Chain A
Amino acid sequence: MAHILEVKDLSLHYLTRFGQKIHAVTDVSFTMKQGEILGVAGESGCGKSTLVNGLMGLFIPPLYPTSGDVLVNGESLMNRSPKDIRENVLSQKVSMIPQGAFNALNPTRKIKDIAADVIAAHSGNKNINKRQIYDRLRERFDLFGMETEHILNSYPIQLTAGERQRSVIGISTLLNPKVVIADEPTSALDVTTQKVVVKMIFDLLEKNIFSTMIFITHELPLLRHVSHNIGIMYAGEFVEYGTTVQVVHDPRHPYTRALMGAMLSADSEQKNRKPTTIEGAPPSLAKKIEGCRFAERCPSARPECRLKTQGLRMVGERLVRCDYAE
């Protein structure tokens, strides 16, 4: 079956004011089928949000593509101008729900006007008028059982966090994009609101409004319930990639294991279980990195690990970037 999304050896860098290159994403490859939800988790600062921009083909300085390709339904998003991407790709083919967006909505505009701005910028159709956009919004919000009139006519500050986030999701998916990328869509929400937002996402999938999704979060327990597959990132690279059950219940890369060991839950044994801590920090992304990127902090590191750059290999039907993982 054809892939909806194909990412081939994608590397991305930032160019700082001093002309220094920060290699935030290195050699990321994966493919997604129609209907798939991919979860991405990893160390804070490992390149998740940067990857998201790359996947949309949206390169605004100081972010630049280093190499690799991104294809949506076979169409490449690389080497295209931001204008072209905005008018012909965003919202229609790939749509993003940015990190913290629902707390950053323009406070001086009503939800319906914010929506109209976004859609007008991305619809590729210069003749679309406000009336049409409003009608479509109403229809869509009604479909999800939202308090449509109240929400559309409110300013962001008058809405709850959950209403704001559901509005953002409703607006981002209005043009039925093929791929939706959600960057930490629920991490600032309480557990009850988080559940409401995830239910809305499942609802959108069921109604076929979009079919393929990348869900970025720090919360592996949440991914356990949301995604089919999970990619774990560390220092710009995928270090483990497998099915959700494999990665969550039987992680093989030492970093993934550390992440799982650091979970905190509200069950009765938690008080006596000390979460795993790993000292130190990931390597600087400004220099070329020799050897395994996790070597400095890995509890199973051996002297060889610092010498040999690690590639992804199959371990028990999932990909792991560690020669010694079993």
Chain B
Amino acid sequence: MPSNIIFSAKDISKFFGHGKKRICAVNNVSFDIADGEIVSIVGGSGCGKSVLAKIMLGLYSPDSGSFLYKGKPITNTRNHWNEVQSVFQDPFGCFNQFFSIRSQLKDAFGILKEKPSKQNIEKRVDEALLAVNVKPLDIEGKYPFELSGGQMQRMLLARIFALKPKVLIADEPTSMVDACVRANILDYLMKLKEELGMTIVFVTHDIGLAYYVSDRIFIMHEAKIVEAGKPEDVTQNPQSPHTVRLLEDIPDINREWIKK
């Protein structure tokens, strides 16, 4: 296997439940993601995107097939998280309601093997907050319940911008923010990517975002990857009927969407 492969999935499947209620969340999926690549996984609700993301994070292991990170199975999640970090779909579930936001952003560095100095941590947290359009003073002493949905989501991104991981798995990272903040976040993320040679996997419903930032798009439908390719090809010349359907359903300002 070439050494520049970050994730390699071969025929992986993941099941939940037993008997009649058993469901297949990921069904015989195979792909490689190269070092420095940006891949977006797009597909309908419940098609298995977040489960796949959790496999990449080492939170689930597949029930069959092989899943490798840099050529090896993920055995020690702590080691894995030293390099692979994530933005989860539900921002409120990720922060502890009883600690201030700033202290949690600083504590996040605890996951790193080499902890920066205290001073450096403060500086990196301030920079990261500005990158998500938040003035550090405005969250001073604030707790998660004192922020809006989109502000909380930005705290998850600030955490990533401060930690600067090698690999980022971002599950719906900008679903709650406005277009300007989204543009700013993507801008900063692309700068970080250049600086660190980051590999990024986006899980998203936002096809405009996937098209704009990705090297490749995977379209998922009912636990399978039904189409994978360059964003130009997937959006302009879709092969799978599921991709066609998704593209048709995007509300566009210049095209009829629902007949009233």
A joins B in a complex:
yes
Residues of A whose CB lies within 8 Å of any CB of B are: 14, 16, 18, 41-45, 48-49, 99-100, 103, 160-162, 184, 187-195, 198-199, 202, 218-222, 224-225, 248-249, 258-260, 262-268, 270-271, 275-282, 284, 286
Which single member of A14, A16, A199, A262 contacts B179 (CB below 8 Å)? A262
Known A-B contacts A44-B148, A161-B46, A270-B211; A281 and B184 likewise in contact (beta carbons under 8 Å): no
Given contacts A99-B149, A190-B44, A195-B258, contact A264 B211 (CB under 8 A): yes
The residue that B148 contacts in the complex, of A49, A160, A188, with Cβ under 8 A, is A49
A44 and B45 contacting across the interface, CB-CB below 8 Å: no
Looking at the assembled complex, report how far the CB atom of A124 sits from the nearest CB atom of chain B, in whole angstroms. 30
| B176 contact from A16, A41, A160, A187, Cβ within 8 A | A187
Return chain B residues, CB-CB under 8 Å to A259: 178-180
Cα distance, A221 to B254, chains bound together (Å)? 9
B208 near A264 with CB under 8 A, answer yes
Residues of B130-158 at the interface with A, using a CB-CB cut-off of 8 Å, are 130, 133-135, 137-138, 141, 146-151, 153-154
Can you list 7 contacts pairing A with B, beta carbon distance less than 8 Å? Answer: A44-B148, A44-B176, A45-B147, A161-B46, A225-B257, A278-B180, A279-B184
Number of interface residues of B (CB under 8 A): 56
Which residues of B sit under 8 angstroms from A258, Cβ to Cβ? 180
- In the complex the two chains form, what is the Cα distance from A18 to B142 in whole Å? 11
Taking the closest CB of chain A, its distance from the CB of B33, in whole angstroms, is 21
Closest to B91 in A: A100
Residues of A within 8 A of B62 (CB): none
Q: A265-B252, A266-B247, A271-B232 are in contact. Are A193 and B179 (CB under 8 A)?
A: no
Residue of A nearest to B153 (CB): A44
Minimum Cβ distance to chain A for residue B251 (Å): 5
- Please name all residues of chain B whose beta carbon is closer than 8 Å to the beta carbon of A14 when the two chains form the complex: 146
> In chain B, residues 164-223, which have Cβ atoms closer than 8 Å to a Cβ of chain A?
172, 175-184, 186-187, 205-209, 211-212
In the assembled complex, B63 has its CB within 8 A of some CB on chain A: no
Residue B48 at the A interface, CB < 8 A? Answer: no
B114 interface residue per 8 A CB criterion:
no
A224 near B251: Cβ-Cβ < 8 Å? yes
A-B interface, 3 closest residue pairs, ranked by CB to CB distance from nearest: A44-B150, A264-B208, A262-B179
A264 touches B205 (CB 8 A): no
**Cβ–Cβ < 8 Å partners of A275 in chain B:** 179, 182-183, 186, 212
Q: How far is the CB of B166 from chain A (nearest CB, A)?
A: 25
Q: Which residues of A contact B207 (CB under 8 A)?
A: 191, 266
Hey, what's the 0/1 contact readout for B236-260 against A, CB within 8 Å counting as 1?
Answer: 1000000001110111110001101
Please name all residues of chain B whose beta carbon is closer than 8 Å to the beta carbon of A282 when the two chains form the complex. Answer: 133
Chain A residues with CB below 8 A from B211, complex form: 264-266, 270-271
| A198 to B258 Cα, complex, angstroms | 9
Task: Pick from B44, B231, B251: contact of A219, CB below 8 A.
Answer: B251
Is there a chain A Cβ closer than 8 Å to B90's Cβ? Answer: yes
Interface centre among B43, B178, B260 (most CB of A within 10 A): B178
Smallest CB separation, A284 vs chain B (Å): 5
With a CB–CB cut-off of 8 A, which chain A residues contact B43?
190
Residues of B within 8 A of A202 (CB): 258, 260
Which residues on the A side are within 8 Å of B149 (C-beta)? 44, 49, 99-100, 184
